[in-house]
A and B are shown apart, each in its own frame.
Chain A
Amino acid sequence: MTLGFYPGCSLKGSSREYAESVLAVAKTLDIAIQEISDWNCCGATAAHNLNRELSLALPARILALAEKQGLTEIVVPCAACYSRLTVTRHELLKDPALKARISEINNMEFKGNVTMLNIIQMIDKYVTPVLESRVIKPFDHKVACYYGCYLVRPHEILNFDREEDPQTMDELMLKIGAKPIDWAYKTECCGAGLSVSRTSSVGRLSGKIIGDAKDRGAEAMIVACPMCHSNLDMRRDSINSYLGEKVDIPVLYITQAIGLAVGIDRKSLGLQRHFVKVTV
């Protein structure tokens, strides 16, 4: 069975190294992945902030497309897209009238028989079984696993890991030889959607996250969300001015860390694209 793939907009632009590393790991470990064709943006924060129907219609179109293309399971590496798709599926399946209304708006029937995997679930299901035998270069570093918001909340709908002290990413890091640290900001918000419109807030929120990771000796931050990544990496100047010091801990996507451990070259993983130089 082929695993469907919804990259989302960030992975085609500002976070293309996330897509590169997901696809490189999948290719190296022989996991067949098929991108949903003609997919649209999920609407992200903007849609649910301004218009509820639009915020359900856009993800429903994506899911309907996947259904039409015969996919039954899709991986959604962007935590924000994963959250929007999962919340939409949940809302439409519990309310048949709403489901009918959204299908009519989209002029495309949404049935609800495609399930979503976030990147950690995908790795757990398809990568973990072969991972330990494939590690040739253990990722021997102290890492701060940063989950952010959208992977774990709202727990009632996502039903994935613990909402304030999740462990799944930490366990995966152990498998590639890393040493996950115990720290306090695993699921605190990085400032996400305010990155452009209120950069100072992002400097403060992301600054606390980087500050705690640094105080506890992390050598790298591990993330699974393009928004977390862009705030912690591209906004490092704002973070450093909030912290009043220069902190140069690099931020890696979980698939980049795994990629390094299984011997994929740095360029194929897009490590050269980061703002904060990846020294690990």
Chain B
Amino acid sequence: MSSDLHHSIPAGLGSEVFDQTEVKVSRCYQCGKCSAGCPLSEEMDYPPSLVMRMLQTGNKEMEEKVLRSFSIWVCLTCEMCFARCPMSIDIPKMMDFLREKALKERKSNPKAKEIVAFHKSFLDSIRYTGRLYEIGLFADYKSRTLKILDDLALAPKMLKRGKLNIFPELIHDRSGIASIFRKTVKKNLK
């Protein structure tokens, strides 16, 4: 008997996850190994196995809670959940999809403001130079979050050890990189 006979995919976000990532939330039987092994589950509003369950219900309210959750942003994609899942469910791949969707729909959790700001500052840095410019990243991140004092002591220590470049490394084909950003990140991530 095909094991997939019992795994119907509910309509809604679960089926969108399947269409975009081939991840079947219905395969999860709630063993909880992902949540037990997740290094961040204690900081999450819903641990990974609960996210799976919420998506299995096909309930709109639950799906909305998932998209607006802090869990999807504090997930580090360390892949431990996927490694331990007895049903080989690629939870990290699903998390990537959920983050992108939450961002597009402007639903990212307010508690994740700094995490999202860091990612945006990172991408902004490479959009213009082709490579990461760490001082630019710090400055942009601070302007987005107003966390002016954080890590202030770190920069001089890094400079002293030759770990920070004063000037960015510019690649030649910057127009090529700019074009990649235009075609993928259609809307500005700001």
Contact = CB atoms under 8 A, between A and B. Distances in A.
Contact of B171 (A15, A40, A105): A40
Contacts of A191: 39, 76
B184 A41 contact: no
Contacts of A14: 134, 158, 163-164
A23 interface: no
A47 B173 CA distance: 19
A133 interface: no
Contact of A13 (B39, B103, B163, B176): B163
Given A12-B169, A47-B123, A205-B39, A40 B177 contact: yes
Q: How large is the interface on B (under 10, 10 to 19, 20 to 34, 35 or more residues)?
A: 35 or more
B126 A273 contact: no
A198 B162 contact: no
Nearest to B124: A46
A9 B132 contact: yes
Interface of B is mostly: helix
A40 B126 contact: yes
Given A40-B126, A45-B77, A189-B80, A275 B173 contact: no
Contacts of B83: 153-155, 163-164
Interface in A243-275: 272-275
Contact of B161 (A108, A197, A272): A272
Interface residues of A, number: 56
Contacts, number: 162
B64 interface: no
A41 B132 contact: yes
Interface string A89-110: 0000000000000000111100
Interface stretch (A25-33, A53-61, A119-127, A172-180): A53-61
Interface string A133-177: 000000000000000010001111000000110000000000000
A150 to B, nearest CB: 8
A201 B74 CA distance: 9
Interface of A: 9-10, 12-16, 38-41, 43-55, 57-58, 61, 105-108, 149, 153-156, 163-164, 187-189, 191-194, 196-199, 201, 205, 234, 272-275
Interface of B: 39-40, 43, 74, 76-80, 82-83, 88, 90, 92, 96-97, 99-100, 103, 114-115, 117-120, 122-123, 126, 130-132, 134, 138, 141, 150-151, 154, 157-158, 161-165, 169, 171-173, 176-177, 179-181, 183-185, 189
